[in-house]
Every structure is written in structure tokens, then in C-alpha cells.
Structure 1
């Protein structure tokens, strides 16, 4: 972390580089082509409004001083250079084009975005300051890395033998083989875990034969026997199901290593310049532990109404669980379960374990204050924190601990119930709760038995509670999916030069706007493997990008709804969802020209391909808009 006192006296890499650029570079770029300059200025204004201003306001006063020192003109120089090298190469000189191609070549070699490499280098100095070996070293730390595992695929076969039309089957023989598959892939901005659905294919007939043998009787007549047969076989195949969790560990490792040695604030600057190239990055949200919550959403598939806890939950704690759920997207019943398993709702006295975990939800001092705290590395998490550092917000911030000042009293203490519950939610959210509950709970205690116990109590507390839905369904049983303007209706439309019938309703609003289930049901299918930013013709997710399909049963009638082009998902395949649950955030993944929800409604199970038109209903006639 940056020492803020020093920050006011010393220049940052961004400031030093900006001074070297000066007015000469700005004048040179603005001279190149009036038409392109207009395009850049349009994007520049939008970038300043949507990205830079929000970023600057969020950084705080120490960094604002640095920005002020650079000056607005030099900030604009930076923005124009980022845009020129990524979006407008036609304005570059031959030498600059060669520099750009060098970065593209190295980025392609290591399968990373060249814009990221340029954004990372730019705040340190000019692009020509680094040779190929240095850039390759950086790129190698950003490149994807996959870990593999084996899955077992089975095969079955049996033979059929027929004599004069009378057939008999042999017993079924089975075999198996081990197949290597990707377990997970670490990318520069995310970790992709892969599950595999394995199922048998259809039976196939092979090795068919047929022959007729005749023998002659003594009287000269013939007796003929027709023998035929074949083999029936089938094989198991697998489908890969990816689940993504945003994780910028590789991003940090690459740019916080030599030759850059960037601070967190420097990485926020890299984020801004990467965003200016029409790419998406959520490093700041990930760093602050807020990325798992779409928009202002509440919990991964959590109930969006009034919840009345059962008698097992002490009433004084329930409001704290709900407040933590709203902030971190971790379901209240899991927070209650951890609180109960750890300290029986704070009734164990003393609330200190034999290894040194303390407080309402039993945090080790190093986990609470941060594993970067001196002496923590190499321990099980216990060091003696002196009073000058203990429970201080500055300590937790400096060493990236999980402690949270939940009641805003200036103390970050595991002995204060608000701080403890909020810190527990913070811990789970940062360890991928929105994608994999078991993984997040395991990171909390590192025990499979602990996971089982917490999930048992979470289910008990959830089932004991009563629920009153604040969103009243219409006469057909549906509630509103989201808010926004209708950008495309259930009708013929022309897009990209071709006309086709649009099977859904498009509702446009801001990135991350909460998407809700229009009725209770079960998640039949999801996709969460697409980049958040798509484009017209993008085929990821079959063109839907990131999507959810939910099967409903309303008064005996089966319906299915499709929610497509999402920025984030809060649910998994097979999960039971209650009406009005926040299931994801609005986005522009897949084949999309802007942020919106593509909502489809089908009577019965949605058919695939062109047959989907047979079941499609006009959502406007059924779902409140």
C-alpha cells in the first residue's frame, strides 16, 4: 500500500511519464486528421464523463493531488494515446505502427489483450522504453495457465445373432478409459473452473454380417439356414460447463513485480486506461470485495421480499445478517449458520479458540488484519498484534485484511457483532461465494466437515423462515423482470442488414441493473463463460452471451423464461429459485449492440433452433414491463 504522506511529496510513475510526454506529443496527435480527431474527441468526452471522472472521485485526496499535479492537458494526452494505439491506428506514424505491431505480436504469443499490455506500460513510460525480453516477461505472468484432471468415460456393447429370424442378444460388456480434461484455467482477470456433464450417446449398429448356408438332403432337397448379426455399441461423451470467478491475482503479480513495482493506486490507473480502449475491467471492485453484487443486488439468488426468521435465530442478530447480505451478496442464512457453528450465536465463553481465533465468528488475527502483517507468513494465522495496530482501520487497509468496520465507529474489531458478521460476508464474497458456495466456506475453515455442518444449519434456518413477497404477481402469476426502456419488441426486425423474427423482448438500462426471476422455478441451463462485452455477430453462448433458462410451473402450466446478455450470474444449474429473486445483472455479452436484457417466454419447454418459434410467447402480454 502507498504511504499517503509520501504520496503528497513524491511523484508517481504516471506523473513522471506525463511530464516526459508534454505538450509536444499532444500537439502532434491533434494535428493528425480532422475527421479522426472528431472521432477521438467524441470518445474522449464520453470517457472523461463515464470513466475518468468517476475514477478520480473514487480515489481520494492523496491521489487527487497527484492528478492535479499532472494537469488536465496531460491526462488528455494519455487518453488520446490509449485510444490511438488501440482504436485509431490510422493516425500513427510508421514508427508508432511498428511499435504497436510489436505489442500485438507479443500479446498474441501469450494470449492476452495487447491493449492491456499497452495500458500497463503507458503509465510508467513510453512504449519504446521496453525491449521484447522485458515485455515477454510481463506477458508470461499474465498468460493463461490451465490445470488438468482425468475423467472416466465408459463404453458399452453387445452382439446380436440371428438364425432364420430368431435373434438372441449377448450380455453387455463394458470398458472405460481415462481422458485428460481442463480442471481450471487461471487467466489474467479471472479463474474459470470446469465441471463436466457425462452421458451416453445413442446406440450405434456396427459389424453387420449376413450369410446363408444350404445343405442337400438325401432326397435331393435343400435346407437353407440364414445367419446374420451385428454389434450394438454406445459411448459416453462429456460437455464442458465453465464457471467464472473474477480474480486479478495474475494482474497484480505481473505489474507489482519489477520493472514496474506498481502500487494499488497505479493499478487503478491501468484499469482506467484499459477501459478507454473499449474493454472492461473490474479490478477496483474486486479489490474492494464488491464485484460479486450486480447493481444494488442482494445475495446470490436471494429472496427479494420481507423475511421473518424462525425461532432459532436471535432477533438482535437478524438485522445484521440482512445488512451484510445487502452489501456483500452473501445469503443471510449462511452468515447465521457460520455464526452458530463458530460460537453458538455468541454464547460460548470465552470466544477464543485454542489456536487463537477470536470474536463472534472466530477470525485468526492474521486473517482479520491481513496476512501481509509482519510475522504472519509461515504461521497458522496467529501473531501477537500490538495495541498500536490492533483493530485499527489503517492496519486492516494496509495489510489487506478481511476486517470490516460494520458499525462505522472507527474500530475494526471481531468482538463487535456488526464488524464480525460483515467481515465474514466480506471473506465469503472475496472467496467466490457467488459462484461456488462450498469453495467459499472451505476457504473460511479448510474443512469438508465444516462445509457440511454449515450447509445443514443454513438449510435449517432458511426453511424455518417465512417469506412475504413485496412484488405482487399479476393475474397470470408473473412479476417484473427488470426496469428500463423497451429497445426491441417481439416482432420482425432488421439488424446487421438481415431481417428475422425477434423471439423476445429487449429491455435496456445501465450495466449491472438487477435481473429478477419472473416466477419461482428451477434453473435448467446457464452460461457464464462469455466476456462481459460482446458485439453484433458475437457467437459466444450461441449469441446470447451469458444467460439463464428457468423452468416454471404456474397453476399446472409449464413455462420457461430466458434471460440473456447478462453481465453476471447469481445462480447455478439445478438451483431452485423463488419469484423475484435477483438472478443476475444486465449486460451486453454475446451478440449485442448495447446493455440490455433479452427476455424470452415459452409455453412448455423451449425448443432448440428454429423450432423455438413454436413455443415462444410475447413477453409483453404476460410479464409486467
Structure 2
């Protein structure tokens, strides 16, 4: 009851502020988006918007979705700020607790940097980011106390980490003095100046590294001065001119900075307690923060978390690693990726985090073993009776731990990758393949953060692996060397025939490939782009690109088949906007047993789903068979 009273405080104050400020507040709100939105208004509005966004996710591209999200977010911000806040001044906020929360967030934000070091100021956690996060969090019905605690949590955990280094500037100088007796050169003097610089910053939105380079000497410069001196020679007073020329050169450094955008730390925090945000929620945070004048590109960087852009199961690639990965392990990572589909750089990152690339394979304090530190019960299977009630150590002998038959019996993850009859966590190939298997089982193709959290239930661990994976990926040179090959033959009626099993293998090899509007390759594709890519491998060329035009074109070509005669390999077209067949807006591949393989949503990408029992069944418009599969 007390929480309900507290939640109504902002409503009452909003009404008071609206009556009191009227047009003044509206003008300010239009001029500049407020730093905070009214909790009561935002709660109801965001709840509605989130449900709409969830629906739109099923039918729209990521770009159109972001536009819709931003439009709705504008409405939320405008309503909330018009009623309650303008520019966050105390008079408009009115309520002491609202002012206290605003000031508390600002205070916490400022505390993330050292005020005596102005170079840190730009890396402080933005208060606007905390406001945006709290809007979504408060829409879940939390109390004011929880909201304040959450603000401290997110700002503290996102506080930037600074690393400083030093370089030494030098100035060399010498002088040449010339008088009536000739010229004399002084010894060279070296003055040193040690400069401290900000070498690395790990901020909420990425990492910035600064390198001063090796330093360079400038050319010698000179300056001269003269003065007269009087002397007596042979009883006669004379005047001589003394000229001193000073030569100087400087050894200086030119700082070069490199910024790598990375929201993995933010995502790890927002998907963990107390927030437990979903992808849709983080998109709303992004929209609200950007509208408040910030910059966040979570949607562009992660596309909902799917990061499967340079290799998919079934493809061969060549990887030249950067200096941060031992070359001897790369072929094992690639083989494991090809086998299971886990991106090689995530496997490498786990290997580095767990044992620093096998330089320390001792049993951990918790009992984890091997090159990638598996708990024995995870390796052999938690169905082992000795695992019950333990932290994962169990009471498993070495012989039993590596026994493939027992691993199969108890449902473990251990893999005999090299076929030597043992699945041994101390064997590098077995360990790496098992890591890939576990990552895939956790959903690495569609949501890397959750998959890594499944590997180790620690949000800090997730951030470390994500950061290291990006570092490893960015430092490597990757080229495709081959792919699954499918062949089609043309009959006398000019119809293409192909082997269904080969085509199915091709199409399912890219499960998890990210959704991208307009894309037609596994690095990113939309629903019809997926069809164009796959059927193009067989030599079939569509006459149209967009789904409704494509459907009409196929019908005119005579490729339409009745639903009662559908077969695996047919393309199924949908009307998911109105569900009445008035306009086709989606396409997928029917793969048999009432299943469809398609892509339609950021964060999921290419996926297999129920067609006959699922959400899409009532939207089916028809089927087309441009290729005959055998």
C-alpha cells in the first residue's frame, strides 16, 4: 500500500506542475527534451509501447522497428515532460523526492570520474542513460527505493576504468659562440619532461586506447643574439662583437586514439538482476537516451545480440590471427566452429579467459579442469549420482570422466574430438570442441551474452569474454575458402531439380545468421533475401525482390501449388499484417513436418519454427515451388 502511495506522488505532482507551468513547460519541453521523464506517465505509456514493439518485432525490419520505437518514445518523452519535467529545474520538479533522485543520479554520475582530471569528464556515465534505464525499470512496478538502488547499481557497474601511462619528451640544445678568437661549441644539454597520458579507457559504450607512438625528433632550429665587448690591445681600446647561436630540437609524441564501440558491459548488466531486461527493453533505452541528446548504437552493434557475421556451420574459412591469439590454436577453433557453429572468436575468448591460452591448466579452486575449465559434472553429465547436491565437482574418477559411453549415459557435454576413444578436458581438441558445443547449446548464434552467461553465471565474466572476443575478431584477417555446394539440373521443361538433403543442409547451415533489411548474404539478410541467396545456389533467379511482388511473379510463372500438396522445399508466403491475405509481407522455406525455416526478427535471425501450430499459421497466403526437390 505504501509503495502504491509513493508511485502516485509523481502523478499528483505532474498534475500540479502542468497546471502551474502550463505553456512555459510545454515550450521548454519542445525546445529541449527533458533529462528525466515522469515515472507515472512513462509507466503506463511504456507498457503499451513495449507490447506494440513486441508485435512489430515479428513483422518489421530492424530499421523500421527503430523508427517506430523512436516515434513512440518521442510521444512518451513529450507527454511526460510536458506534464512534469522541462529541463529538470527544482521549481518544475517540485517534489523533494523527485529532486533528490535527480540530484542523486547526477552525483553518482559525477563520482565515476576524478574531477581533478578533466580528461576523464567525457567518459562519465551519462545521467541521461540512467534516466532512460529507470524509465523502463520503473514500468515494471518497482518502488522508489528500488529505483534509487538500481540507479546506483547501473552507474557504479558502468563506471569507466582508466589506465594511465607515461612518455618522456626531450629538448636538446647547444650553443656556438663566436668572437675575435674564433668559435666555440658548448656541450649538448638535454632537458626531459615526463608526460602522463590517458592510455586506455573502458567506458560503458566501448574502449578507447591511445598510443603515443615511438616519438620523433624535430629538425634543428636556431636563434642568434649578439652583444659588444670592449677590450684593450696594445694600449688601444677596441670593440668586439660576440655572437651566440643556440640550436634546439625537440623529441615529441603524437597521440593517436582508437575507439571500439562495445555495449557488452551494459547489456550484461541490463540482462542481469535487478533489471533482467530483454532485447526490446534495451532498444527502448537506446531510443529514450538518444532522444535526450545522447548517442547509443546498441541496435547497430548487436542487432539484438546476434553476432554471427563471418562464418556459419558448413563454411570453410582461413583465419590469420592477430598477435593476441597463438596461431597453433586457430585451426582447432575453426574446426570446432565448422562442427557446431559457434563463432571461433568466442571460443578463443573463452580459452583466453579460462586458462590464458592453456598457460595455466591447473585445477581451479572450484574444481574446474582442463584447457577451458569445465566442472566434472558438466563434462560428464549432471545425471551422475555423485553430482547431486554438489557444486559440480562430483566424485568422478579420471577414467570415468573421459569415458564417452558414460558421458552419453549421463548427458554430459564432453566430446572426443580427435577420435582417440577418450573425451578428455586435458586434451586441447576435446576441450575446445566441448566449449563450442556448450556455447551453441546456450544459444551463442542468437544471443551471445546469454550463452556466455550459461557457460559461467557471472555478468562480469560475460563482459570480459565479449570484450576479448571483439578484440580477437577485430585483430584477425578472415577470408572464406569454401562453402556447402548444392547442384541443380534443368529438365526439358526448364524446371530445376535438386537434392533436398543437400539443399536442407545448405539452408540450415546459416541458422542464427542475423536479420538485415535488404541483405541477401549470411552476413545479414531479410526473408526474401534468404530465399534469393539459397535458391540462387541452384541457379534459380527470382524476377522480383520484395515479398508481395515476388509472390505475384511466382504465381504468374505457374509455380504456385495448393497447400494440400505442399512439400519440403516449397516457399511459403504470409500476410502477417492483416492476416486476411490482402498483401504478402513475409516469406519462408517449408522444410516438412509442419516447420518453416525463415528470418524475420532482429535478435533471432534465421530460425526454425512451427508453421502449423505457431503464430504464423493463420497468416499463410500460399505456397510456391520454383524448384523440384528429390
TM-score of Structure 1 vs Structure 2, range by shorter chain: 0.3 to 0.5
Structure with more contact order per residue of length (Cα contacts < 8 Å, sep ≥ 6): 2
User: Whose strand fraction is larger, Structure 1's or Structure 2's?
Assistant: 1
TM-score of the aligned structures, taking structure 2 as reference length: 0.39
User: Whose helix fraction is larger, Structure 1's or Structure 2's?
Assistant: 2
